[in-house]
Amino acid sequence: MTGPADERLRTAPMLPVRCGQCGAQVLARKSTWAQTSVQWNADATAACVERHAAAELSRATLRYCTSMRESILTAAQSGDLPVLDPEAGRPGDES
């Protein structure tokens, strides 16, 4: 039995964002400035320099990449990746 379809995928689909450092491409959605959803695929994981370096050092998979995080923030600031609720969690907000 499957659950209901996620309406967010229809009304606010995840969009491609490419890393400025290694060129890996993920799908991302920014609900607010503080909340980001990222979907990695095998190609992006294989291309990510930072994730590979972390895995070599600790034999653990890095769950995020600071370069990709910066690329997603840049895409949001430029308007290429819309922030669905831009008033919530704005940079500099203390709430």
| Higher pLDDT, residue 10 or 75 | 75
Contact 76, 83 (CB under 8 A): yes
What percent of the chain clears pLDDT 70, i.e. is strictly above it? 71
Say whether pLDDT at 1 is over 50.
yes
Please name the helix (run of DSSP H) or strand (run of DSSP E) that holds residue 84, with its range, or none: none
Say whether pLDDT at 71 is over 60.
yes
Q: What is the pLDDT of residues 6-16, one digit of tens each?
A: 566 667 899 99
Band (95; pLDDT cuts 50, 70, 90): very low
C-alpha to C-alpha distance for 58 and 90, rounded to whole angstroms: 34
Residues 65-73: what's their mean pLDDT?
95
